[in-house]
């Protein structure tokens, strides 16, 4: 995911083209049109990345397609392409009927919106690129109509990453994101893509401590912060207490800034690579419950944590 995250962050210096579609009424079919326009750009090979951003306020129905091009001259080629012109011609009757308004602009930058996101890296089988693009048209159009949808960032394969599609989808809440991920509509769409996809990697960008919870799979959101905080405290507390007893006396001759830095560095290292992996493994059913997880797991796990806290205090009380 590190390489993909870096790719997501780049492109600020590339040419950015904005296509804004203002729709009267529901406009579901017009969102489909904007999705098809996005995929035409992606299919041209000129687009570095693309994202669709819905209205920021509920009283508007304006959708923005943000396309970043590898080079400025590729934008002109895309604007003159026959596939794009056909789509514009298709929309012309709706514009003349005053059902939609279409505006276009070139910008140096364009921000993103959204409060919760999932990064998805999809590896498409060799020779299945065209079929996968057709699938993406349906998938993105369906996704855009879901409750809480806040936009999508789509980066097609590059010369350095052939067959790799990077997607970042955003929703306004974890509940809205989950609603889409567990929906029957999404499940059926993914079934259609099984023959074209070799693997898919998900990483939910939620929670305050995502690095410790790489075991998340299939778009599963991270555990609540209070659960992660309890595990961190359980693993960190004895380390800190033992450092106070055995390490601090050895560092008393050093400047407090240096001594505390050494102690904190050791604490972080032991927590990250020692206690947290063990605790996450032991409490996985509590951290990542599924529909099959028994109802007793949550209260029993919480009670065990309370007992462990008590044992740590009692043992360290006697030892120190």
What pLDDT score was predicted for residue 11? 40
Residue 292 domain-assigned? yes
Q: Model confidence at 205, in pLDDT bands (50, 70, 90)?
A: low
State the average pLDDT for the chain.
81
Q: Model confidence at 217, in pLDDT bands (50, 70, 90)?
A: very low
pLDDT higher at 297 or 112: 297
Short-list 65, 72, 78, CA closest to 14: 72
Average pLDDT over residues 31-54: 86
Q: Model confidence at 4, in pLDDT bands (50, 70, 90)?
A: very low
pLDDT higher at 59 or 84: 84
| pLDDT tops 60 at residue 216 | no
As a whole number of angstroms, the distance between CA 118 and CA 151 comes to 11
**Sequence-separated (6 or more) residues with CB below 8 Å from residue 276:** 212, 231, 232, 235
> 135 and 74 share a domain?
yes
> 155 and 261 share a domain?
no
Average pLDDT over residues 58-76: 83
pLDDT higher at 235 or 223: 235
Question: Of 64-68, 112-116, 288-292, 304-308, which range is least confident?
Answer: 112-116
Residue 280 domain-assigned? yes
Residue 314 domain-assigned? yes
Q: Print the domain residue range for 90.
A: 2-212
> 15 and 161 share a domain?
yes
What pLDDT score was predicted for residue 304? 94
As a whole number of angstroms, the distance between CA 133 and CA 196 comes to 10
Q: Model confidence at 188, in pLDDT bands (50, 70, 90)?
A: very high
CB 126 within 8 A of CB 148: no
| pLDDT tops 80 at residue 27 | no
| Exposure of 287 in the CB half-sphere (CA atoms within 13 A) | 27
> 42 and 130 share a domain?
yes
> 22 and 57 share a domain?
yes
> Which residue shows structure tokens 């904007």?
34
What pLDDT score was predicted for residue 99? 86
Partnered with residue 20 across adjacent β-strands are 64, 103
- The percentage of the chain sitting over the pLDDT mark of 70, rounded to a whole number, equals 84
Out of 153, 188, 212, a domain closes at 212
Average pLDDT over residues 233-237: 90
DSSP states of 98-117: TSEEEEEEEES------SEE
CA 280 to chain centroid, in Å, comes to: 22
> 176 and 286 share a domain?
no
CB 163 within 8 A of CB 129: yes
pLDDT higher at 279 or 15: 279
Out of 147, 179, 212, a domain closes at 212
Q: How many domains does the chain have?
A: 2
Average pLDDT over residues 98-122: 74
Residue 40 domain-assigned? yes
> Two tokens at 242?
């033992």
Out of 191, 212, 233, a domain closes at 212
What pLDDT score was predicted for residue 176? 83
Average pLDDT over residues 17-44: 83
């Amino acid at each position: 995911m590190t390489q993909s995250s870096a790719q997501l962050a780049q492109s600020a210096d590339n040419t950015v083209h904005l296509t804004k579609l203002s729709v009267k009424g529901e406009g579901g079919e017009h969102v489909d049109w904007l999705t098809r326009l996005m995929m035409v750009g992606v299919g041209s090979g000129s687009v570095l990345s693309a994202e669709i951003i819905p209205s920021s306020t509920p009283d508007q129905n304006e959708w923005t397609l943000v396309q970043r091009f590898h080079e400025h001259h590729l934008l002109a080629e895309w604007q003159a392409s026959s596939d794009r012109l056909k789509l514009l011609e298709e929309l012309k009757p709706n514009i003349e009927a005053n059902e939609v308004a279409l505006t276009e602009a070139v910008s140096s930058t364009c921000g993103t919106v959204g409060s919760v996101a999932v990064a998805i890296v999809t590896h498409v089988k060799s020779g299945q690129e065209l079929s996968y693009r057709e699938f993406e048209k349906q998938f993105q159009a369906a996704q855009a109509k879901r409750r809480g949808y806040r936009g999508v960032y789509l980066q097609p394969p590059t010369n350095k990453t052939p067959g790799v599609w990077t997607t970042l989808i955003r929703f306004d809440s974890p509940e809205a994101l989950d609603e889409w991920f567990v929906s029957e509509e999404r499940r059926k769409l993914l079934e259609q893509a099984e023959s074209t996809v070799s693997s898919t990697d998900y990483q939910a960008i939620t929670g305050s401590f995502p690095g410790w919870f790489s075991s998340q799979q299939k778009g599963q959101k991270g555990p609540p912060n209070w659960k992660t905080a309890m595990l961190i405290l359980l693993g960190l507390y004895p380390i800190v207490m033992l450092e106070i007893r055995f390490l601090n006396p050895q560092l008393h001759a050093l400047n407090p800034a240096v001594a505390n830095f050494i102690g904190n560095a050791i604490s972080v290292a032991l927590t990250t690579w020692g206690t947290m992996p063990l605790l996450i493994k032991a409490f996985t059913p509590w951290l990542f419950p599924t529909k099959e997880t028994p109802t007793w797991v949550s209260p029993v796990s919480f009670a065990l944590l309370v007992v462990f806290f008590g044992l740590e205090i009692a043992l360290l009380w006697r030892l120190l």
